[in-house]
Amino acid sequence: MTELRSSEWYAGDDRNAYIHRAWMRRGVPSSAFEGRPQIAIANTASDLTPCNSHLDEVAAAVKNGVYEAGGIPLELPVVSLGETQVRPTAMLWRNMAAMATEEMLRANPIDGVVLLGGCDKTIPSLLMAAASVDLPAVVVPGGPMLTGHFRGEALGCGTDVWRLSEEVRAGTLSEEQFLKSESSMIRSKGHCNTMGTASTMALVAEALGTIVPGLAGTPAPDARLLEAAHETGRLAVQLVADDRRPSSFLTKANFHNAIVALAAIGGSTNAVVHLLAIAGRLGIDLSIDDFDRIGAQVPLLVNLQPAGRYLMDDLYRAGGFLAVMREVRDLLDPEALTVTGKPFVDYLEDAKIWDADVITLRGNPLQPAAGITVLRGSLAPGGAIIKPAAASPHLLKHRGQAVVFDSIEDFHARIDDPDLDIDADSVMVLRGCGPKGYPGMPEVSNMPLPQKLLAQGVRDMVRICDGRMSGTAYGTVVLHVTPESAAGGPLSIVQTGDWIELDVRAGRLDLDVAADELAARRPNQATLEGYAAPRRGWERLYVDHVLQADQGADLDFLVGASGSQVSRESH
Ligand code: FES
Ligand code: MG
């Protein structure tokens, strides 16, 4: 084994080594400072991130494994983001969490790290940090919650909130019944049980190779999660001995496999921005077009909400993620290595489907081509995305007139106005919701439909926005329009009444307005007033430096890596 990084703090007889050791002793044996790998456990447990609140228990299991393998486990609480609690949107803070974690891993005497995440932004921010500090790192995903039931029916986190609330607005469900379902929605510890962003990012992180294969998707209350956490603690010590860093095994091939996985599971559109951001940290040339090129023809094999019917503990029972990946094995890159040192495809041999209604066979997919489709055209020169698996087939090719909202407040103020001139063929456009505009690119693109149309039985319409959409949401929603309105994209000058053409199969999103007329248009005052203009703090830094969605919405100065070197001693 090469010299441990932590020995720069602990080795030697000088005053500084004395200080570093002395303050850490507090019951720790002297052997802790004599060449044993120091393993941080970057822990996003927080009472305000309820999906991750059980991670202290997981951390304890990791600690046992680290000790057992001869390492020293050190818990490092890191910035945590509770998707449902944090305003204006957890995405605004993803890069801050990533930056803070990266810096604390670098600043401290550690040799490797186990990353504990769960709720939507936590695994992405941890992986971005690990990639930029490039120390040996492995993820333990906190796992999904168990399925709750209401009136005899399974409740899908998020997805059923959208569905039930639409039913209330349509008048087919009483408010009383709606509120009654609230206490059944979250049955246990763990993250959302739909194929939302948390589930997606755990499975995709496993396909990427950053989780011990077979672990992702283990329900949070399942005893096997703690067993795997223990084993991952042992592995972390081995990673240091082997000097296996993110940069030593993560290549474009790993991202290829992640994109295949994303399509086969019908995963969240949010994975696109997260994977682009992680790749950016690693210097891997990944573009939104790779999602289309690699993923668009991959069949949908997982029958989970929002695209299908079941929930995450059903997926685990039915054979789990590896059984899904085995069905698309021929589409995977066999060269891509995992954090264990073995190729991902090596783990697929024994995987088996036990319930072909939850995980369908390749020959009988839920949809033949499920990946994310990239759209370009005069309304999205830098690209936009749509998830056809969650859209209505009859709207995938559509021409309609725009009904434009300048901000989310404008939307809420007018959407249920009985006089609003809108019908089922209209195209709802919401702007000012991109990374800079909101700020933070919130999950507002799946705008609720107008009450009067819901009452007529309309359940989907074409919606276009520069924001994101919850991974638990569904509908014919064009997202991540780039450049965003606040960055001067054509979205900023669309007017109500303009004709818009969407053609998903052709990959087109066009504004049917004469070029000379467009060139003469300027954003109106209400549009400009809808953009965020923070004066100080993180929001100011963010708005000044955030990149567009097609580049992962990272900050420009956070792209790439700095490694683990620190320039100076503290005394
Ligand atoms: Fe945490 Fe859905 S709110 S995973
Ligand atoms: Mg979300």
In this prediction, residue 517 carries a pLDDT of 95
Under the banding of pLDDT at 50, 70 and 90, the label for residue 31 is: very high
Mean pLDDT of 513-534: 95
The per-residue b/e assignment along 312-349, b for 16 or more CB within 10 angstroms, e otherwise, is bbbbbebbbbbbbbbbbeebbbeebbbbbeebbbebbe
The per-residue pLDDT for 400 is 98
Task: Give the model's pLDDT for residue 226.
Answer: 98
| Per-residue model confidence (pLDDT) at position 569 | 86
Which of 47, 52, 157, 305 most suits a substitution to test ligand 1, by most atoms within 8 Å of the C-beta? Answer: 157
pLDDT attached to residue 472: 86
Q: Which stretch of 294-298, 398-402, 556-560 has the lowest confidence by average pLDDT?
A: 294-298
Predicted pLDDT of residue 460: 96
Closest ligand 1 atom number to CA of residue 120: 4
Backbone angles phi, psi at 159, to 5 degrees: -50, -45
What is the residue-averaged pLDDT of the chain?
96
* CA 119 – ligand 2 centroid, Å: 8
How far does residue 194's CA lie from ligand 2's centre (Å)? 11
Strands 427-430 and 508-511: unpaired
Question: pLDDT of 251-293, one tens digit each?
Answer: 999 999 999 999 999 999 999 999 999 999 999 999 999 999 9
49 CA: nearest ligand 1 atom: 1
φ/ψ (deg, to 5) at 90: -60, -25
Please tell me the predicted confidence (pLDDT) of residue 471.
87
Q: How many CB atoms lie within 10 A of CB 370?
A: 27
Per-residue pLDDT at 559? 98
Residue-range domains of the chain with CATH? 36-147+187-347 (no CATH), 148-185 (no CATH), 373-533 (3.50.30.80)
User: Residues 129-143: what's their mean pLDDT?
Assistant: 98
The pLDDT of 104-130, averaged and rounded, is: 98
How many C-beta neighbours within 10 Å does residue 419 have? 7
The C-alpha R_g of the chain, in whole angstroms, comes to 24
The pLDDT assigned to 370 comes to 84
Structural tokens at position 94 = 């993803």
Q: Kindly tell me if the per-residue pLDDT of 390 is higher than 70.
A: yes
124-139 mean pLDDT: 98
pLDDT at 191 over 80: yes
Can you give the pLDDT at residue 272? 98
From atom 3 of ligand 1, which residue's Cα is the shortest distance away?
83
Model confidence band, residue 40 (pLDDT cutoffs 50, 70, 90): very high
Q: For residue 370, how far is its CA from the centre of ligand 1 (angstroms)? A: 23
Q: What SS3 state is found at 382?
A: strand
Phi-psi sector, 566: left (phi>0), alpha (psi -120 to 50), beta: beta
d(CA 426, ligand 2 centre) in Å: 26
Tell which residue, 322, 83, 79, has the closest CA to residue 211. Answer: 322
134: left (phi over 0), alpha (psi -120 to 50) or beta: left
Mutate to test the pocket of ligand 1, among 192, 195, 312 (most ligand atoms within 8 A of CB): 192
* Residue 532 confidence (pLDDT): 96
Which residue in 268, 546, 508 sits closest to 378, CA to CA?
A: 508
Using DSSP bridges, classify how beta strands 380-386 and 373-377 pair: parallel, antiparallel or unpaired: antiparallel
**14: helix, coil or strand?**
coil
Nearest C-alpha to atom 1 of ligand 1 is from which residue?
Answer: 119
Inter-CA distances, 520 with 17, 234, 291, 399, Å: 67, 64, 35, 24
- Map tokens 């039930």 to a residue: 164
Residues 230 and 58: their CA atoms lie apart, in Å, by 8
The rounded Å distance from CA 278 to ligand 2 centre is 18
Which amino acid is residue 219, in one-letter code?
P
Residue 307: the pLDDT is 86
Q: How far is CA 227 from CA 70, 269, 456, in A?
A: 18, 31, 52
Q: Would strands 397-405 and 427-430 be described as parallel, antiparallel, or unpaired?
A: parallel
Question: pLDDT (tens digit, 9 = 90+) per residue, 340-389?
Answer: 999 999 999 999 999 999 999 999 999 998 889 999 999 999 999 999 88
Phi, psi (rounded to 5 degrees) for 412 = -60, -35
Q: What is the pLDDT of residues 301-314, one digit of tens each?
A: 999 999 899 999 99
Ligand 1 atom at minimal distance to the Cα of residue 83: 3
Residue whose entry in the numeric block shows the structure tokens 């818009």: 500
What's the rounded Cα separation, in Å, for the pair 62 and 520? 61
